[in-house]
Copies of this chain bind each other. A is one copy, B any other.
Amino acid sequence: MAQVSFTALEGVPRVQPGQDLLPLILQAVEGAGLGWADGDIIVLAQKIVSKSEGRYVDVSTVQPSERARELAAIAQKDPRLVELILSESQEVLRCVPGVIIVRHRIGVVAANAGIDQSNLPQEGSGMSDPALLLPVDPDASARALCDRLRAQTGRRVAVLIIDSIGRAWRQGTTGTTIGAAGMECVRDLRGERDYFGRTLLTSELGLADEVAAGASLVMGQAAEGRPIALVRGLEWQDSGQTSRDLQRPVHQDLFK
């Protein structure tokens, strides 16, 4: 019987800049009494990775460029926030009232460059308007944690870093992989034949994004958010892929 379970780990403390996530992960899994198994996937919310990397910016200190002011007028946003969005982006895909959709520096297409202004401390941080950027290199962060987790646990585990990202034609965000190490991200089904010997119409499966979406169900969004989940029971190969393999190449983008 194929079964996959998604468990949100409890008791993860608020993460401080510079804090190592490895002990938090190990303690949270130990606290849940789940042990480790080959094939386990640790899913981390983007937010705690960004916090551990100290990716805070005080929006009130940003100097907006002329372009940021122009886009801010269209989007009806703070020009300083728009400047921050531009500084995190390769390309602006759409700018309309309320939303700026960009191709982020790391390749992900996301509204407002994934910049997060919720659940951030204001008191004591010295920032009047704190914002949190995406991790510097989420694939590298996942790789480092995956290698160390494998060394510590002796198990064949994988690490995903996920964020809540919107879709072109669908309402609501879904958990989406922005960093990955240790497991195949896109499963190639092109070699597989169906029951009647025809090749499959659907030829590639966004495996890591399906894991990200399932994990998002247990991790929650608001105050009670649980930033670490353990996924158990999925069979996967370690193909050396990263989250970049989930990004459609720009030259194949039909909806630029």
Max chain B C-beta neighbours (<10 A), residue from A6, A32, A103, A211: A6
A17 sits at the interface (CB 8 A): no
CB-based contact B5/A210 at 8 Å: no
CB-based contact A210/B175 at 8 Å: yes
Give residues 215-232 of A contacting B (CB, 8 Å).
216-223, 226
Contact of A171 among B4, B168, B206, B211 (CB under 8 A): B206
User: What is the oligomeric copy number?
Assistant: 2
CB-based contact B2/A226 at 8 Å: yes
Query: Which residues of the other chain, B, contact A218 by a CB distance below 8 angstroms?
Result: 2-4
Mask: chain A, 110-152; 1 = CB below 8 Å from B; 0 = not: 0010001111111000000000000000000000000000000
- Complex Cα spacing A164 to B201, Å: 10
CB-based contact B3/A196 at 8 Å: no
Instruction: For the complex, count residues of A whose C-beta is within 8 A of B.
Output: 77
The interface-forming segment of A49-57, A64-72, A247-255 is: A247-255
A10 and chain B: residue at smallest CB distance: B1
A101 sits at the interface (CB 8 A): yes
Query: Which residues of the other chain, B, contact A168 by a CB distance below 8 angstroms?
Result: 109, 167-169, 248, 253-255
Query: Which residues of the other chain, B, contact A209 by a CB distance below 8 angstroms?
Result: 170, 172, 174, 213
Can you list 11 contacts pairing A with B, beta carbon distance less than 8 Å?
A: A1-B9, A2-B219, A118-B199, A118-B200, A169-B247, A170-B246, A172-B187, A173-B206, A174-B206, A202-B221, A210-B216
Chain A to chain B: the 10 pairs with minimum beta-carbon distance, closest first: A214-B214, A172-B206, A213-B213, A168-B168, A2-B8, A109-B169, A210-B213, A255-B255, A119-B194, A195-B223
